[in-house]
Every structure is written in structure tokens, then in C-alpha cells.
Amino acid sequence: MPSIGLGAWLATPPGAYLLEWEQRHLDAAVADLFGFHALQLGLPSLDALRNNRMPHRWLAVDIAHRLGDVVSDVSPSTCAVALNCDFDALPFDSQSLDLVVLPHALELARDPHQTLREVERVLMPEGRVVIIGFNPTSLWAMRRQTGRARRRLGLGAGTSLYLPREGDFIAYRRLRDWLRLLSFEVETGRFGCYRPPVHSEQWLSRFGWMESAGERWWPVLGAVYALTAVKRVRGMRLVGLVRDQRAKVGASPAVVRQQVRQCEAAHLAREKAELD
């Protein structure tokens, strides 16, 4: 099976299996997130906001996306507006969104760092970001790397890469470090899709028992990860309180000077009394 784009790969049995897991996770992750404005970046095959109750929702598709696949129609019940824009230059005001969901958007972006900075810019304080990505330390990613190595060595031009040909996978811990530098606090994180990298739906079904076993025995080796983070605003100052403290500090020398004058006057009075 030759390597294909993400859109076509999602129509294969492993792609459908992945979409099913991600849809279940997102339905639970966004259900209790409240606000007014929510945005999904990329992957229109996934209805990331269908279980969210925010009144204003958008789906953005990167105009510079490298998928080469036809974008599917957007359900009007999911998004009020469908946008074509660059993920590293979002057409939203700063601190205007309450929720941003990125299903495989960072690993497919031209500049994942700038994309994440844009997400931080448009999110309101205490706003949430939900990110889904392929795990580069999974069995699926290992099979992809093996296929690439065989192709470079000329040992098999038709060797399957299993996963889509696009994208640079971002490690889970590395992504957490990026979020921490942007003042995000990770609330939840999990891995999923523990079945081995096989193409047939029949074999995927036979390995269904590996889901519960993987979550228990090798939880960080799932083919995909998902995390939710909240934007924290640090360094806030209470100006009124600072002014009061400065006023108190400024008044202290005057009190000391007054006490010194009183002591000097008392000393002079005693000397005068002694001379008399």
C-alpha cells in the first residue's frame, strides 16, 4: 500500500479507527467547556466541536495546507462560519476566543511554533486549547520510520509508510514544554489507539483487546495523544495596593524626624532647667 495524504488515509480502516477514537475523546473533552467563541483548526473530516455548546463556532482550513485532498463540506450545525486562512496568522482579535481545537494541525503547519503563538494570542485568559497529534514513539510511527529507511536505502520503492506521508510528528513532552513557555498549564493528557499497525479491518478488530491492555501496561505508546491546556495570565499587579504601600513607606521618615525634634526639645528643656 503506497503512502497517501491524510485525507485519503483517513478513509482506510486504520484511519477510520483513529477518527473514531479521536471523535469520542473530543466529544468528552469539549462538552463541559463554556464560553461564546470556539475554533477548530484543520481536519474537517473530524467534527471536533459537535458536542460543545458555545454559540459561535468556526472551522478554519489552512490555505497553504499540503494535504492535496478535497476539503469536505462543513455541517452548518457544527460551525457558523468556515474560513480559509493561514494558521500562523489567524483572522481574530487578540483575546477573543474561549476554545481552540487543533486536531493534527501543529504537525501539518508550516511553522508549528508560530501557529501555537497565534493560538495563545487569540485565546482569552483562562481559555482552553485541545491538541491531538501522532505519537512519534508508537508502533505506528516506528513502522513509518522503518519504511522511510528502506526507501532511502533502495530496499523497497513500494514499501508502505503506513501513516500519511505529510507531517512532522511532535513528541508529547516536547509539546508540553512549548505550552509551558507560552504560559499554558496542561490540565489533562492521554494516549490512545494501541492496536498494532495493520491495514485490514478484520485484523484491527482481532486486536481490540489491546486497547485496555495498552492503557494499563504501556500507556505512553499509543499511536495518538491528546491534551487539554488552559491559558494562564501571570504577572498581574494590584496598583491600588502598591500605592498604599508606597504612601506608608514615604510617611515613615517624617514620623522619625518629628520624634527626633521632640527629643531635642525635651533635652533643651532639661538643660535650661538645670541652668536655672
Residue 272 lies in a domain: yes
Q: Are residues 88 and 225 in the same domain?
A: yes
Q: Are residues 118 and 100 in the same domain?
A: yes
Greatest mean pLDDT among 2-16, 75-89, 110-124? 110-124
Residue 120 lies in a domain: yes
> Residue 257: how many CA atoms within 13 Å on its side-chain side?
5
b/e burial code for range 193-221 (CB count within 10 A of at least 16 → b): bbbebbeeeeebeeeeebeeebeeeeeeb
pLDDT given for residue 257 in this prediction: 55
Q: Are residues 126 and 12 in the same domain?
A: yes
Look up the CATH number of the domain holding residue 64: 3.40.50.150
Residue 262 lies in a domain: yes
Q: Are residues 167 and 54 in the same domain?
A: yes
pLDDT given for residue 246 in this prediction: 43
Residue 211 lies in a domain: yes
* 3-class secondary-structure state, position 147: helix
Residue 1 lies in a domain: no
Q: Are residues 38 and 88 in the same domain?
A: yes
pLDDT given for residue 227 in this prediction: 96
Q: Are residues 48 and 163 in the same domain?
A: yes
Q: Give the model confidence (pLDDT) of 214-265 as tens digits.
A: 888 888 889 999 999 999 987 655 455 444 444 444 444 555 456 556 666 6
Residue 80 lies in a domain: yes
pLDDT given for residue 216 in this prediction: 83
Q: Are residues 139 and 272 in the same domain?
A: no
139 or 32, higher pLDDT: 32
pLDDT tier at 30, thresholds 50, 70, 90:
very high
Q: Are residues 182 and 253 in the same domain?
A: no
Q: Are residues 112 and 166 in the same domain?
A: yes
Range of the domain at 129: 6-231
Ranking 62-66, 101-105, 237-241 by mean pLDDT, the lowest is 237-241
pTM: 0.76
Looking at the structure of the chain, the number of domains it has is: 2
Residue 133 lies in a domain: yes
What proportion of the chain, given as a percentage, has pLDDT over 70? Answer: 70
Residue 212 grid cell: 485496555
| Strands laid side by side in the 81-85 sheet | 81-85, 56-62, 37-41, 97-103, 123-134, 224-231, 184-192
Q: Are residues 246 and 224 in the same domain?
A: no
Residue where a domain terminates, one of 231, 246, 268: 231
Greatest mean pLDDT among 49-53, 164-168, 260-264? 49-53
Q: Are residues 52 and 130 in the same domain?
A: yes
What distance in Å separates the CA atoms of residue 84 and residue 103, rounded to the nearest whole number? 16
pLDDT tier at 53, thresholds 50, 70, 90:
very high
- Average pLDDT of span 45-61: 93
Q: Are residues 132 and 199 in the same domain?
A: yes
pLDDT tier at 142, thresholds 50, 70, 90:
confident
pLDDT tier at 200, thresholds 50, 70, 90:
confident
Residue 205 lies in a domain: yes
Neighbours of 192 (CB within 10 A): 20
